[in-house]
Amino acid sequence: MTTRVHKRIISVFGALFMLLGILSGRAPAQTSLAVDIQGPGQAKMNLVQARPFADGGQLTPADKLQDLINKDLQFLPFLQLVPPSNIPGQIGGAKAEQIDFKPFGMAKIDVLVTSQWSPGGNLGNVELRAFEVYSQKVIVGKGYDSVTDAQLPDIADRFCMELMAALTGQGGFFNSQIAFVKPSSGKGTDIWTVRPTGRGLTRVTHYNELGMAESPSWSFDGRRIAFTLIGSRSHYLGVWSGGGKPQVYTLPSTNVVSPRFLPSGQIAVSLRVHGKADIYLLNANHQPGRVLAGGPGINVSPSFDASGRLMAFVNDQAGNPNIYLQDVGGGSPRRITTSGYNTNPSISPDGKLIAFTKQLGGGQKVFVHDMTTGQETQVTSGGGSDENPSFSPDGYFIVFSSTRSGQKKLYVTTRHGTPPIKIPTGDGVAQMPCWGPLPQ
């Protein structure tokens, strides 16, 4: 497979669109396709996928790729997918000179996606283009030769990653993975991984009835997973390094709770070494070193930003569990939540937000605390209980587990609280998600 039409034509919208806006009498602000997904508000773009062109008779793979791209795009809440049947007339081909953009403009379509298949090795060759309707310019163009059926999901992911990057400046959603927990035989549980679109479902550990593998945590390079292994007599620290059996470490504590990686590759974990749970930084031999959080009350559930300077964690010295923020280098912790029962913190990679769960009525809901404004926002609602939020590597999406549909499953929302979408994880319960990048 080779890439033939790679050039990302979209660049800076400003000067060109300002000129076009003046010539057409339209305000320049109406022409920009850029979406600020990190800002307080969020615009929606209308996108149409045109019927694929397959002159060489590749309609079956063409339809399959179209469906895969459509499923990927449904995870992007800033896009409104419009059926092509809503647009009057037909386009004559997949290239700009073959398209009459006027009906799309009149229907307020922002982005038009086309695909052109041609004879070649295996299933054939395909060119994918995304046009900005107003300017009629290609914003993403990709081409693939000798495509196989097995490559179609990866092609869909790559194209959608490029499109998201062109529109928002970030495309990490399609270049990430989620570790989570599923029950195995007997009372055991094991660690699994999956892409956020539900593809690549993989079992990582195989303890079955020998133990319960829980609380997985990705390293910042996406190569290792740390987890708690609950045996019949004690807890252990497990570390999976991308293949084979995980390494298991015995620590001087019967409780080993919620291990988490720092960007440096070190692991922090809550241990009961001196009669109560405190958070320790482990040394190179995976034994307790410096105490990161050891004040009054229990200290559990550490979470670190991408700089490794900030740690969010849970402490119950005020009576109920609350979220605190600690400078890893030292100093006094700062209390973040001021009321209620608050657990499961996940700090965003830029250190500006903390997602956590708050007890409401008979269940828990996911909230986000803005460190700049101090505002606390509820981002999940509805039936069931929502637990274990985890930020995506780009800090825009949040994965969590929920019983909203009965059995506990994984869902993805955003920092703005867009309607959750269920992540396919196969049969059975799926819980305790942790979001990380693909191996770097």
The pLDDT of residue 26 is above 50: no
Write out the DSSP string of 281-322. Answer: EE-TTS-EEEEEE-SSS-EEEEEE-TTS-EEEEEE-TTSS-E
| Nearest C-alpha neighbor of 264 from the set 224, 226, 220, 223 | 220
The CB-side HSE value for 386 (13 A sphere, CA atoms) comes to 26
Q: On the CB side of 368, how many CA atoms lie within 13 Å of its CA?
A: 27
pLDDT the model gives residue 169: 87
For the chain, the first-to-last Cα distance in angstroms comes to 22
Count other C-beta atoms under 10 Å from residue 380's C-beta. Answer: 26
DSSP 3: B
Q: What global pTM score does this model have?
A: 0.88
Residue recorded with tokens 């985890």: 390
C-beta of residue 40 within 8 angstroms of C-beta of residue 14: no
Predicted local distance difference test score (pLDDT) of residue 16 = 30
| pLDDT for 19 | 31
The yes-or-no verdict on residue 8 having pLDDT over 60 is: no
Q: What is the pLDDT of residue 90?
A: 75
Would you state the torsion angle of the CA atoms of residues 372, 376, 377, 379, taken in this order, to the nearest 10 degrees? 100
Q: What is the mean pLDDT of the chain?
A: 89
Give dist(CA 345, CA 368) in Å, integer.
9
In the structure, what pLDDT confidence band is assigned to residue 414 with cuts at 50, 70 and 90?
Answer: very high
The 10s digit of each residue's pLDDT in 240-291 is 999 889 999 999 998 999 999 999 999 999 999 999 999 999 999 999 999 9
Asked if residues 268 and 311 have their Cβ atoms less than 8 Å apart, the reply is yes
Give per-residue pLDDT as tens, 71-99: 999 999 999 999 999 998 778 999 999 99
Q: CB under 8 Å to 45, separation ≥6 — which residues?
A: 33, 35, 78, 79, 80, 110, 111, 167
Tokens 């505002």 label which residue?
A: 375
Predicted confidence at residue 432, as pLDDT, reads 98
pLDDT confidence of residue 439 = 92
Contacts of 268 (CB under 8 A, 6+ apart): 259, 260, 262, 279, 280, 281, 282, 292, 302, 304, 311
**pLDDT in the model for residue 40:** 56
Are the CB atoms for 103 and 131 separated by under 8 Å? no
Name the percent of the chain lying above pLDDT 70: 90
Model pLDDT for residues 326-361, shown as the tens digit of each residue? 999 988 999 999 999 999 999 999 999 999 999 998
Q: Is 406 helix (H, G, I), strand (E, B) or coil?
A: coil
DSSP secondary-structure letter at 421? E
Is 137 strand, coil or helix?
A: strand
Count CB neighbours of 361 within 10 A: 7
Q: Return the minimum-mean-pLDDT range out of 23-37, 299-313, 403-417, 418-432.
A: 23-37
Helix (H) or strand (E) holding 227: strand 225-230
Strand partners, 113: 49, 130
Q: Per-residue pLDDT tens for 211-241?
A: 999 999 999 999 999 999 999 889 999 999 9
